[in-house]
Chain A
């Protein structure tokens, strides 16, 4: 059977802009419009925008919505104030990561979760399983009839149509209008820059997009989305983490609140924490010539010790970087490792995985 690619409400706009399209988690999305490097630089130095409508948007409402989310997430959603949001994890009972997501508290009994595009059905089934038939928990997936645009870069608060939301703190959100389009705007992002993620009805997608085009915001594709997030040391679910990894290995222990009641996976995670982990996800920088790619072997003294999960060039830093799993004893800044690139070992060094830091010196 041929799988039909899902199209976002901006699909036609992307084609009109002559974007190079690609398949991503079942969606047809732009990989680039003009050039990945140009788009990457636009976000680091000015403002760029991305169609991130592939990200799932699920409203969780009802009297027990907060209690329910506290049970399925690794951080307490009910402790959030209305108007704020936080990153958290959805864990399986064995502590494996089912997804990473943003949980927004919209009002007392209204929440929104924004999660990755992959395995949507499986994740919804997981939520419904734990919600049971409780009439006080309503799960409403609105991914198909809404659109989400990320506007990112140091210049976002100089854009006329974002002036009204620039008083929002990081992770804050509000309902507002952008050129007459009703939106939910949140000060969040996945690029390592200041920015907003904006949700509206699919019917208004083109109008919203064009209002940013008129402000000179550069359309950016999946290529830059990936190079920006990697450079900022942000993880990609399905690549850097998945069901077979736990928050302690991937370095996301700060997303696990052990005082968040009896959440799913807690007992397993307590045990993992007690025992310690055998491997860790680290950042590395190539010191030899070559580009590391996902799936390449990491070796030390001629022996395979792990795998690269993400790799590529860091355009802002002018070096080649990556993420990968290594045994805990090698997970120290400065440790020498080698990456097997087409059967040749190429030297690399373990470094802080926040390769690029906004406003910092960013020496390679």
Chain B
């Protein structure tokens, strides 16, 4: 389910390295399932400098506002206008058509600090377990 070639953050963003210094960024399936229906996206304009781990945008689900963090540092090369017009794409296809921005990486070595798909799956499994413990009883 989680694409193998992507890298993940603990804030539930992913980046798919397309070349040495370019990558597509989006939210994970777990993130969209937790947020529920996404109805609004505020993405950084092309040209904006973003910094790893810092807020780069916002999204609104039906219920709440959440921040979107940059998985790596760099410059916004492109935003996915289709998803801005139809934010529900993040719910429908978070790893595909629901991508958010394309970044030009300023420090490609930052990718090494991110989590691979197996580790991310484990991380989510742990979160889900904690959640069902809280919900039960």
Residues of A near any B CB (own CB < 8 A): 15, 20-21, 31-32, 35-37, 223, 227, 289-291, 293, 312-313, 315, 320, 342
Residue pair A37, B65 in contact (C-beta under 8 Å): no
The docked-state distance in angstroms from the alpha carbon of A150 to that of B37 is 23
* B42 CB contacts on chain A under 8 angstroms: 290
Interchain Cβ contacts under 8 Å between A and B, 9 examples: A20-B36, A35-B37, A35-B91, A36-B37, A37-B39, A37-B62, A223-B63, A293-B65, A342-B58
Interface residues of B in 38-93 (CB under 8 A from A): 39-40, 42, 58, 60, 62-63, 65, 88, 91
* A35 CB contacts on chain B under 8 angstroms: 36-37, 91
Q: Would you give the 0/1 interface string for B77-115, flagging 1 where the beta carbon is closer than 8 Å to chain A?
A: 000000000001001000000000000000000000000
Are A21 and B135 CB-contacts (below 8 A) given A31-B63, A36-B62, A37-B62? Answer: yes
Number of inter-chain CB pairs below 8 Å: 38
Task: Kindly name the residue among B39, B42, B62, B136 whose own CB sees the greatest number of chain A CB atoms within 10 A.
Answer: B62
Residue pair A291, B39 in contact (C-beta under 8 Å): yes
Residue pair A223, B36 in contact (C-beta under 8 Å): yes
* A315 CB contacts on chain B under 8 angstroms: 62
The docked-state distance in angstroms from the alpha carbon of A291 to that of B62 is 9
- Leading 7 A-B pairs by shortest Cβ distance: A36-B62, A37-B37, A291-B60, A313-B39, A291-B40, A36-B37, A35-B37
Residue pair A227, B135 in contact (C-beta under 8 Å): no
Tell me the minimal C-beta distance from B79 to chain A in angstroms.
14
Q: Which residue of B lies closest to A286 (CB)?
A: B40
* A290 CB contacts on chain B under 8 angstroms: 40, 42
Q: Which residue of B lies closest to A38 (CB)?
A: B37
Are A223 and B62 CB-contacts (below 8 A) given A32-B36, A291-B40? Answer: yes
Residue pair A36, B65 in contact (C-beta under 8 Å): no
* A223 CB contacts on chain B under 8 angstroms: 36, 62-63
Residue pair B135, A312 in contact (C-beta under 8 Å): no
Tell me the minimal C-beta distance from A100 to chain B in angstroms.
23
* B40 CB contacts on chain A under 8 angstroms: 289-291, 313, 320
Tell me the minimal C-beta distance from A273 to chain B in angstroms.
37
Q: Of the candidates A21, A36, A289, which one forms a contact with B63 in the assembled complex, judged by CB atoms under 8 Å apart? A: A36
Residue pair A36, B60 in contact (C-beta under 8 Å): no
Q: Which residue of B lies closest to A35 (CB)?
A: B37
A-B contact sample (11 more), CB < 8 A, given A36-B37, A223-B36: A15-B136, A31-B63, A32-B36, A223-B62, A290-B40, A291-B39, A293-B65, A312-B62, A313-B62, A315-B62, A320-B40
The docked-state distance in angstroms from the alpha carbon of A289 to that of B91 is 20
* B60 CB contacts on chain A under 8 angstroms: 291
